[in-house]
Amino acid sequence: MKQKILLILFFIFLQIFSFRIGVFAAECTTPREGATREELEDIIRACEAQIGETKKQVDSLSREIGIIDGQIRVAQLKISQTEYQIRTLEEEIVNLSGKIERLDGSLDYLSRVLLDRVAESYKRNKVDAITILFSSRNVSDFVARYRYLQKIQLHDRELLLSMEQTRTSYDEQKSLKEQKQEELEKLQAQLLTQKKQLDIQVANRKRILEETRGKEAVYQQFLASAKGELEAILGILEGKGREERIKDVSEGEKIASVIYGASCNSNGTHLHFMITKDGKPLNPFSYLKGGINYENCSGSSCGSADADPFNPQGDWGWPLNEKIRLTQGYGYTWAIQHIPWLRAIYTFHNGIDLQGGSLDVRATKKGALYWGSYVGRCTLKYVKVEHEDGFSSYYLHVNY
- What gap in Å lies between CA 218 and CA 69, rounded to an integer? 20
376/307 Cα distance (integer angstroms): 31
Domain segments of the chain as ranges? 81-212, 221-399
**pLDDT per position in the chain (400 positions), as tens?**
545 444 444 444 444 434 333 433 466 666 676 677 677 777 777 776 766 665 555 577 888 888 888 888 899 899 988 998 898 888 888 887 887 777 677 666 666 666 666 555 544 445 555 665 556 666 676 666 656 666 666 666 666 666 667 667 767 777 888 888 888 899 999 999 999 889 888 888 888 888 777 788 888 888 888 888 888 898 999 889 999 999 999 999 999 999 999 888 888 899 999 999 998 999 999 999 999 999 999 998 899 999 999 999 999 999 999 999 999 999 999 998 888 878 778 888 999 999 999 999 999 999 999 999 999 888 999 999 999 999 999 999 999 9
E strands, the chain, where? 242-249, 254-258, 271-277, 280-282, 294-296, 324-328, 352-355, 360-362, 367-375, 379-386, 391-396, 398-399
pTM of the model as a whole = 0.58
DSSP state of 312: -
Q: How far apart are CA 228 and CA 321, in angstroms?
A: 28
**C-alpha 183: how far from its chain's center?**
18
What values do phi and psi take at 277, rounded to 5?
Answer: -130, 120
Going 173 to 174 to 179 to 183, the CA torsion angle's sign is: positive
Confirm if 363 and 392 have CB atoms less than 8 A apart.
no
